[in-house]
Chain A
Amino acid sequence: MVYFINDIITGALIGLLYSLVAMGFVVIYRASKVFNFAQGELVIIGGFIVWFTTMQAGLSLWLSIPLSLVLAGLVGYAIERIFLTKLIGESVFSMVMVTVGLLILLRGLVLLVFGPAVRPFPIIFPLKPLFLGDMLIPMNLLIGGIITIVAAVGLSWFFNRTRSGLRMTAVAEDHVVASSMGISVKGSIAVAWVLGAILSTIGAMIFLSGKSLTFLASDIGFAALPVALFAGLESIGGLILAGIIIGIAQSLTTNYLDPLIGGSLGSVVPYIIMLAILLIRPTGLFGWRTIERV
């Protein structure tokens, strides 16, 4: 029974990590209407920035973490300036296809620059797990979960309550209408990518803390994709619930069902949930329901 509860708690915490990475998808979508397929590559670039500032440059964590976040924001801004600004006014289809191109472009660049070697990642969060009676809770996931919830509450307040957040929401509704109302579509998309890159870097720190770093870590982007869709692409607060549900489902499948069937069903459970939710409720749990009038 203790193990069962422990599995549920660990699963929920992993789910919160997915939520944090998924928040990158949602923030970019919420402010620009572009679905960013290259989210996992942003995570891995964030990971390499952190690795570079701590392990290569040898800075202390207190200095390197803020510096990494600033650098990641700059990378996000650069990507937006080079690839997406030029497409404002084109169809959203073009923008999405560009992010598909970015997915393989960034993957290739990371491989070319850093190579396939496995690197140690700095220990950002204490390695020692938290013991709660007989239960064992990984420290990095616990702190990560708290960061995720704080970030979700903060960003959700920003997008739903503040003036500039609502402006970005208008951009996500319709580029042309937003810009004719005097809202800067360009500025909104730039902020979105900076935020998306910073969130991805935080995600990389939690995910990789004390582990090893290779370019394959970007797979977390696709693991987080079902969470974003389950919550609905517009809802930041909903990510928490969706992440916890998917994390628990995955953890229980991995621990109890997989030994029975002898496969790794756990890795596709999020996708099965995603397909089911898309069929039953295409906008996700908390997504906007758009009404089409003709």
Chain B
Amino acid sequence: MDPSGVFPTSYRSDRRLIRTRWQFLALVVFMALLLLAPYLVSSRIIAILNMMMISAVIAVGLQICTGYAGQINLGQAAFMGVGAYTASILASKTGLTFLLTIPLAGLSAALFGFLFGLTAARIKGFYLALTTIAAQFLFHFAVLNLPSTWLGGSNGITVPPAELFGLRFVSESSQFYLNFAVTAIMVAGAFGIVRSRFGRAFVAVRDDDVAAGIMGINVAATKANAFLIGAFYAGVGGALWAYLIRFVGVDQFTLFHSIFFVAMIIVGGMGSIVGALIGVFIIRIIQEIIATVGPNIADSVSFLGGDIVFAGMNVVLGGVIALFMILEPKGLMHRWNILKSSYRIWPFPY
């Protein structure tokens, strides 16, 4: 709900995303701080921000597919992998500029996702989630078993840095601006998608697909679209990942990574783009803490060795998913909305 004194007087103003002057101001300050971040904070934090922004693109895609359209997707990491491999092959073999490879990576991932989404024409409910697991396995199989000159096999592929007008995106801060630009475009696009007729169709299908069908929505096409859009975001994120790490290997895109993305949208809150961003922020910080603390613990508990980071991440994130599903299935965004509306109507109870 809006603060008192803000009344939309037209349909147009009712659909607005930025509703008050303060919200506009907050957005400008937030974006300005992000833009200035490379001058304000250390390069270690910039590296973390880079990972956060890439994860944000992928998690927003998953949010559209799972949070808005209600389709459980356990193959987001495979879709990301398809994008990453497309971008790295195009960049290393044909030398295309990243201005082309990133959208093409998104498109190829979208195509791959759409193929699995197409099964929605025949399959309903959880069976659909299982085809995304099949996507995960087929992706691994394809990379590891196709001739290694195609996809690099188990050796992976080295990616040349992104380049524009002789400027090479090598340093953390230059990559930061590349990621920032792409993430800003993708997130703004997501806000547009979920407010459009497609987004409303997603929500209708999520809430009740039989009812949605009666209202004239093509349910199967809507589900396939949800996978298409979700996979497109994953592919773009994967391409950014390829340019950031400059190396892609099949181990970077496992079922566990898919579940980490699921954890992000559950923590943030299903059905909210901002929620996805909050979830990315929190989960990435947790992962960063475990990755920093883990090796220190590993020194004292020696029999675990290097697996402690992986094990700890699984325990913490699995626990977080279960806890949130039990205690607050609507996520942190829901809590925040309750808080916001209660201070806006204070001192009245409702």
Contacts and interface: CB of A to CB of B under 8 A. Distances in A.
B307 A101 contact: no
Contact of A279 (B119, B129, B319): B119
Given A105-B319, A279-B122, A87 B133 contact: no
A94 B315 contact: no
Interface string A82-119: 01001100100110111011111111110110011100
Q: Is the interface of B mostly helix, strand, loop or mixed?
A: helix
A97 B266 contact: yes
Nearest to A116: B307
Contact of B321 (A100, A106, A222, A294): A100
Interface in B291-341: 303-305, 307-308, 310-322, 325-326, 329
Contacts of A111: 304, 307, 310-311, 314
Nearest to B304: A115
Contacts, number: 132
Nearest to A282: B123
A212 interface: no
B173 to A, nearest CB: 34
B127 interface: yes
A267 interface: yes
Nearest to A29: B126
Nearest to B303: A115
Interface stretch (B24-32, B77-85, B134-142): B134-142
Contacts of B282: none
A198 interface: no
A108 B137 contact: no
Nearest to B211: A294
A293 to B, nearest CB: 9
B322 A265 contact: no
B124 to A, nearest CB: 7
A108 B321 CA distance: 14
A103 B259 contact: yes
A183 interface: no
A98 B303 CA distance: 30
B99 interface: no
B220 interface: no
Contacts of B127: 229, 278, 282
A35 B125 CA distance: 11
Given A267-B141, A271-B134, A282-B123, A294 B304 contact: no
B212 to A, nearest CB: 11
B131 A278 contact: yes
Nearest to B214: A294
A101 B325 CA distance: 9
A274 interface: yes
Contacts of A229: 127, 130
Interface string B128-166: 011101100110010011100000000000000000000
Nearest to B141: A268
Contacts of B319: 101, 105
A100 B130 contact: no
Contacts of B214: 294
Contacts of A106: 318
Nearest to B305: A116
Interface string A217-242: 00000100100010000000000000
Interface in A241-264: 263-264
A294 B210 CA distance: 7
A112 B304 contact: yes
Q: Among the interface residues A90, A225, A275, which one has the most CB atoms of the partner chain B within 10 A?
A: A275
A292 interface: yes
Interface of A: 35, 37, 83, 86-87, 90, 93-94, 96-98, 100-109, 111-112, 115-117, 222, 225, 229, 263-265, 267-268, 271, 274-275, 278-279, 282, 292, 294
Query: What 9 A-B pairs are tightest by C-beta distance, nearest first?
Result: A105-B318, A108-B314, A101-B321, A108-B315, A111-B311, A263-B145, A104-B318, A104-B314, A101-B322
27 contacts: A87-B326, A94-B329, A96-B72, A96-B126, A97-B72, A97-B262, A100-B259, A101-B259, A101-B322, A101-B325, A102-B322, A104-B256, A104-B314, A105-B318, A107-B314, A108-B311, A111-B311, A116-B305, A117-B303, A263-B145, A268-B138, A274-B134, A275-B119, A278-B122, A279-B119, A282-B122, A282-B124
